[in-house]
Structure 1
Amino acid sequence: MQFYFYNEGFKNAIDQYQLNEEQLRFTGDPRDCIKLSNEDSERSSILAMENNHLVTFFVLHINEGVKPYSDNDHAILLRAFSTDFRHQGKGHAKQVLMQLPDFVKENFREINEIVLAVNVGNAAAQALYKKCGFIDEGERRMGPKGELIIMSYYL
């Protein structure tokens, strides 16, 4: 699995990326996320590619983006995490999450914690994050799509 920071060379891969309605209940559309990343230098859109196919997309958000979820100035927010529905069930999301700590350490050297917010109704994602080392320390927030569980991975 290879990670890439989004650039216009990946536009075709993003245009072909597919999320179903169930996924869109809990995550953002990559096209919208990329637009926000282009307007905000604190957001990085990341593509996870397997055999030249985009299988997973996510955003890493520093500084202001993480503040609603953590008081740690050295935390980064994992947001809009999704896997193309045609590639679900193949272990890609788990593989990405297992590689994520090393990617963050390499590209965001000052970061010592990865934070995410997962919808309480998204049990599958909660189980995956726990399996990959994220910890639920009891923090909850309300988000635009419902109550969120805040989880952390300490680097």
Structure 2
Amino acid sequence: MELKLYHDYYKNHIQDYELSEAQLAFTMHPKACIPLSEADGDRSSILALEDDELVSFFVLHRNDGVQPYSANRQAILLRAFSTDHREQGKGYAKRALAQLPQWIATHFTECNEIVLAVNLENIAAQGLYKACGFVDTGGRVMGRKGEQMIMSYAL
């Protein structure tokens, strides 16, 4: 698996990416994330590729995007994490998250923490994040789809 910054070369990969209605209850489709990243230099759309096929996607958001979730100015926010629903259950999400700390250390050298917000109703995602080393900070915020748990991974 390889993590890559989004580039227009991958536009067809994004168009072919599929999320179920259940997934869309908790995350945004990459098609909606890419324009936000293009308009905001603090957001980076990241693709997790397996044999040049897009299997997972997420956005890394620095600076003001982190502030509702952490007071740490060196933190980076993981948001809009998803796996193509046809690829779920194959370990891709876990592999992408396992590579993420080193990838961030290489590409965002100023960062010393990864934070994320996960919906309290999304038990499966909470389990995944915990299995990958994220810890519940005890913080809670209201998101557009309900209360969210703040989780952290120290780099």
Provide the TM-score with structure 2 as the length reference: 0.99
- C-alpha displacement of 1:112: 0.2
CA deviation vs aligned residue, 1:74-124 (integer Å, no higher than 9, x gap) = 000000000000000000000001110000000000000000000000000
Paired residue secondary structure (2:100): helix
Paired residue secondary structure (2:104): helix
The code of the aligned residue for 1:34 comes to: I
The code of the aligned residue for 1:81 comes to: F
Report the identity percentage: 60
Distance, in Å, in 2 between the alignment partners of 1:151 and 1:111 is 16
- C-alpha displacement of 1:59: 0.1
Structure 2: give runs of 5+ residues left out of the alignment: none
CA deviation vs aligned residue, 1:23-78 (integer Å, no higher than 9, x gap) = 00000110110010000000000000001110000000000100110000000000
C-alpha RMSD of matched pairs (Å): 0.4
Paired residue secondary structure (2:147): strand
Which residue number in structure 2 is paired with residue 129 of structure 1? 129
The code of the aligned residue for 2:142 comes to: M
* Structure 1 residue runs of 4 or more that deviate by more than 4 Å after TM superposition: none
1:41 matches 2:50: no
Q: How does 1:29-68 map to 2 (within 5 A)?
A: 29-68=29-68
Distance, in Å, in 2 between the alignment partners of 1:152 and 1:2 is 23
The code of the aligned residue for 1:4 comes to: K
Which residue number in structure 2 is paired with residue 12 of structure 1? 12
Q: How does 1:17-32 map to 2 (within 5 A)?
A: 17-32=17-32
Paired residue secondary structure (2:97): helix
Paired residue secondary structure (1:93): helix
Distance, in Å, in 2 between the alignment partners of 1:39 and 1:68 is 20
Which residue number in structure 2 is paired with residue 96 of structure 1? 96
